[in-house]
Amino acid sequence: MQIERYIGIMTGTSLDGIDLALVSFHIDPAATVPDLLGIQHLTLPYPPAIVQSLEQLLTTPVNVQTFADLHIAYTYAVADACKQFCEQEDIDLLTITAIGFHGQTVWHNPYPHQFAGYSIRTTLQLGSGSTLANLLHRPVISDFRSADVALGGQGAPLVALFDAAYFRDAHYPVVMLNIGGIANVTILPPASLPSVYIRAFDTGPGNVLINAAAQHFFQQPYDADGQLAAQGTVHPEFLHALQQHPFFMQPPPKSTGRETFHWGWVENILRKFPDISPYDVLATLTYLTAWSIADHIQRFAPETAQQLFISGGGLHNTTLLEYLRQLLPNYHLFSTADKGIDPDAKEAACFAYLAYRTWHHLAGNLPPVTGALLPTILGTIALPPEFVKTP
Amino acid sequence: MQIERYIGIMTGTSLDGIDLALVSFHIDPAATVPDLLGIQHLTLPYPPAIVQSLEQLLTTPVNVQTFADLHIAYTYAVADACKQFCEQEDIDLLTITAIGFHGQTVWHNPYPHQFAGYSIRTTLQLGSGSTLANLLHRPVISDFRSADVALGGQGAPLVALFDAAYFRDAHYPVVMLNIGGIANVTILPPASLPSVYIRAFDTGPGNVLINAAAQHFFQQPYDADGQLAAQGTVHPEFLHALQQHPFFMQPPPKSTGRETFHWGWVENILRKFPDISPYDVLATLTYLTAWSIADHIQRFAPETAQQLFISGGGLHNTTLLEYLRQLLPNYHLFSTADKGIDPDAKEAACFAYLAYRTWHHLAGNLPPVTGALLPTILGTIALPPEFVKTP
């Protein structure tokens, strides 16, 4: 029985931590998908000085020196986090086949646009795979989104193949929901149907607007357990104004980010409702998030779907979950933990799985999901000194 | 007989063109170095809108959107140049094993420095290998310098292994000189000695200061054939002031760039010599360039070395060559063309060779040259859709 171990490393757009997951696979050449034997997971704090530099980069012009230094310092921070993970979890790095390093998304605009006379589609993840491979002395796969975007895809969501591998039901369609900074769903047809029927796309804000409001009004990094929203009530006119964002009605494939859903957008609409209380803002933004998720599921999932598996930080927001239950009365809501995958580990585990696929030259994107022209091998492969051959 | 073909793509810090070279190798598993069967070469114009954006990036703060879009638009420009190269030279891209894509250096500071609490060494080449691989449908190797820098090296010069492969003499030491924006030398011991005795480092300015003066005083992009310098005479006090730059006396391994040698530095010194004529400035900067090259060769090459092989744009500057002849009376000066390698194709050909080495998991750096702790596999490997396997 051949076992391979991959580490996935994810830092999301909410800049709230470095997620690491070690995933052990049983590789059976006869099977299309390796068995998932186990996951070890840890979230480590994002070093505040790096977060501060990233926030500066995302909001103000910086010189190329700062950009280059942050690109490398972020990579060092990830290398340190990976070493700490291995120490705490008693993992021998030398037993790892490869590391899937997502990097920090600092820009994502996969729609064709003009720049310097070229019609381009852009995505940019900070972090150097080659640097990480040589700091950790293990192979590193990074820059997972550029290949799909170059082929005309959204470069997102990339979780669809992982969901398809480990969450499909033999007889019923299943819906997967990840609530990170942005929320995304995967709609999985029964296992008997081919993967071209899989759909996955971003539904809009996840925690991003809720966190921003908690920070703005309450100096809290996020709305713990949904307590702040629970003390307010939904403001129908404010909600209606927010629901007019064109992203919500746009047909999939689609993806979005902090460039689109940010506090500035909320604040602009909020000006028309000067009397609304901070608690009601929180309640309304939480409801907007639940509504945009539920509305997309009802429009795009088959009516026979009844299982919804949830992962991501949003799972800890009781108010958000309560709204979701109200808006999706036909669904049973589960944590992905009910299928053996820790909801906080899922995204990092997904990039461990995508590293496995790239290492074996398997496609990592699903064209019907991302809109790319072709399936392709995601990312770039960097090899450490230990892999040097002598001629 | 197994033949493999690699394309090398180089855009230098002088932003004066996109250099492409197709190199055909005869791979003999018994030999340490493949035979070089032939080189096809073309320099295509750097699209002016990209050059303008790069100059803006190098001199003023930009927002992350501009950075990300330029990263991708530059990659599209390189993809277009590669397609045009293949069309003009009648090359079938499908016969190419891999493309070595240097990228555009926008920052290079391999010396340890502090950023956000980390002691880092930085190098950054613009351009996405994964994007290029999916635009051209061929494997792309890129980001050649990060691995060596991560291991404590200068990430430069990377030409040493190429020089060692194709220019060593059986009995005598040989000196290689490339005069690009920056000048660098490789000192090759006789072929019987091990490669740990190879030395290579930047000597200081190549064409960078001469070009800057031609642009400043004569609105010429460069001093064609050294005609402007030929009309002036060397100004001893101005020369002496320029020679005080600490880089010249710093011991190898060392590397430098436009961050260090630029028009601002010259202009600052020139203020003390208000009466000097523009022609004399050109003559003095040309002499400074020749002196810094010759001085490094005399200090670091063995006395038995008598052959100097020159490549790069500076070879077309007759005045510079005349000064070099005066300063190196014991040397015979050759163009690399005398050993079958077009002096304008050499840098791009070097990255085709480094792509060959990475593709075969051979080390691409020479630790005694760069100062890195270990030999390693340079760059990252991006694979196109054609390489997708089905499980």
Q: How many whole angstroms separate alpha carbon A330 and alpha carbon A328?
A: 6
Closest CA of chain A from B384, distance in Å = 6
* Minimum CA–CA partner of B32 in chain A: A391
pLDDT at A14: 80
pLDDT at A253: 87
Q: Are B39 and B347 in contact (CB under 8 A)?
A: no
Report B:313-372 residues touching A (Cβ under 8 A): 360-363
Whose CA is closest to B77, among A145, A118, A109? A118
DSSP-based three-state secondary structure for B342: coil
Instruction: Determine which of A50, A115, A161, A353 to mutate to test the interface with B (most B C-beta atoms within 10 Å).
Output: A115
Q: Are A116 and B62 in contact (CB under 8 A)?
A: no
Closest CA of chain A from B192, distance in Å = 18
- Label each residue of chain A as H, E or C: CEEEEEEEEEECCCCCCEEEEEEEEEECCCCCCCEEEEEEEEEECCCHHHHHHHHHHHHCCECHHHHHHHHHHHHHHHHHHHHHHHHHCCCCHHHCCEEEEEEEEEEEEEEEEEECCEEEEEEEEECCHHHHHHHHCCCEEECCCHHHHHCCCCCCCCCHHHHHHHHCCCCCCEEEEEECCEEEEEEECCCCCCHHHCEEEEEEECCHHHHHHHHHHHCCCCCHHHHHHHCCCCCHHHHHHHHCCHHHHCCCCCCCCCCCCCHHHHHHHHCCCCCCCHHHHHHHHHHHHHHHHHHHHHHHCCCCCCEEEEECHHHHCHHHHHHHHHHCCCCEEEEHHHHCCCCCCHHHHHHHHHHHHHHCCECCCCHHHHCCCCCCCCCEEECCHHHCECC
Confidence of residue A390 (pLDDT cuts 50, 70, 90): confident
Across the range B310-320, mean pLDDT stands at: 96
- Highest mean pLDDT: which of A15-19, A30-34, A185-189? A185-189
Whose CA is closest to B210, among B233, B181, B235? B181
Instruction: Give the DSSP letter of residue B100.
Output: E
Q: Are B50 and A116 in contact (CB under 8 A)?
A: yes
> Which of A50, A62, A385 is facing B376, going by the closest CB pair?
A385
Mean pLDDT (chain B) is 96
Residues of A in contact with B383 (CB under 8 A): 361, 376-377, 381
* Minimum CA–CA partner of A385 in chain B: B376
* Cβ–Cβ below 8 Å for A381 and B380: yes
Closest CA of chain A from B297, distance in Å = 31
* Cβ–Cβ below 8 Å for A151 and B117: no
Maximum distance among all alpha carbons in chain A? Answer: 75
pLDDT at A15: 87
> Which of A115, A128, A385 is facing B375, going by the closest CB pair?
A385
Report A:240-269 residues touching B (Cβ under 8 A): none
* Cβ–Cβ below 8 Å for B380 and A384: no
A227 in B contact zone (CB under 8 Å): no
Across the range B4-26, mean pLDDT stands at: 95
* Alpha helices (H) along chain B: 48-59, 64-88, 129-136, 146-150, 160-167, 208-218, 227-230, 236-242, 263-270, 278-300, 318-327, 346-359, 367-370
* Cβ–Cβ below 8 Å for A107 and B391: no
How many CB atoms sit inside 10 A of residue A248's CB? 17
Residues of A in contact with B60 (CB under 8 A): 61, 63
Q: Which residue has the tokens 């299982």?
A: A307
* Minimum CA–CA partner of A130 in chain B: B147
> Which of B64, B120, B133 is facing A69, going by the closest CB pair?
B120
Instruction: Give the DSSP letter of residue B306.
Output: -
Whether the predicted interface score ipTM is above 0.90: yes
Helix (H) or strand (E) holding B311: strand B307-311
Q: How many whole angstroms separate alpha carbon A130 and alpha carbon B364?
A: 13
Domain B2-155+348-387 shares a fold with domain B160-339: yes
* Minimum CA–CA partner of A76 in chain B: B118
* Every domain of chain B and the residues it spans: 2-155+348-387, 160-339
Closest CA of chain A from B307, distance in Å = 29
**Mean pLDDT lowest among A46-55, A70-79, B24-33, B84-93:** B24-33
- Write out the two tokens for B10: 């180089």
Confidence of residue A195 (pLDDT cuts 50, 70, 90): confident
CATH hierarchy code of domain A2-155+361-387: 3.30.420.40
Report A:106-135 residues touching B (Cβ under 8 A): 106-107, 109, 113, 115-118, 120-124, 128-131, 133-135
Q: Are B235 and B287 in contact (CB under 8 A)?
A: no
Q: What are phi and psi of A259, to 5 degrees?
A: -60, -30
Closest CA of chain B from A391, distance in Å = 5
> Which of A69, A107, A376 is facing B384, going by the closest CB pair?
A376
Confidence of residue B257 (pLDDT cuts 50, 70, 90): confident
pLDDT at B329: 96
* Minimum CA–CA partner of B365 in chain A: A385
Closest CA of chain A from B76, distance in Å = 7
Q: What percent of chain A has pLDDT over 90?
A: 93
DSSP-based three-state secondary structure for B69: helix
Strand partners, A141: A100, A381
A160-339, superfamily in CATH?
A: ATPase, nucleotide binding domain (3.30.420.40)
Residues of B in contact with A52 (CB under 8 A): 116
Q: Are A4 and A25 in contact (CB under 8 A)?
A: yes
A385 in B contact zone (CB under 8 Å): yes
Q: Are A385 and B153 in contact (CB under 8 A)?
A: no
Confidence of residue A32 (pLDDT cuts 50, 70, 90): confident
- Chain A to chain B, count of Cβ pairs less than 8 Å apart? 241
Whether the model clears a pTM of 0.90, i.e. scores above it, the answer is: yes
* Cβ–Cβ below 8 Å for A107 and B65: yes
B2-155+348-387, superfamily in CATH?
A: ATPase, nucleotide binding domain (3.30.420.40)
Sheet holding A182-188, edge to edge: A199-205, A182-188, A174-179, A307-311, A332-335
Confidence of residue A194 (pLDDT cuts 50, 70, 90): confident
A152 in B contact zone (CB under 8 Å): no
Residues of A in contact with B146 (CB under 8 A): 128, 130-131, 134
A30 in B contact zone (CB under 8 Å): no
* Cβ–Cβ below 8 Å for A380 and B381: yes
Q: What percent of chain B has pLDDT over 90?
A: 92
Residue-wise pLDDT for A143-193, tens only, equals: 999 999 999 999 999 999 999 999 999 999 999 999 999 999 999 999 988
Across the range A198-214, mean pLDDT stands at: 96
**Which positions ≥6 away from B51 have C-beta within 8 Å?**
B15
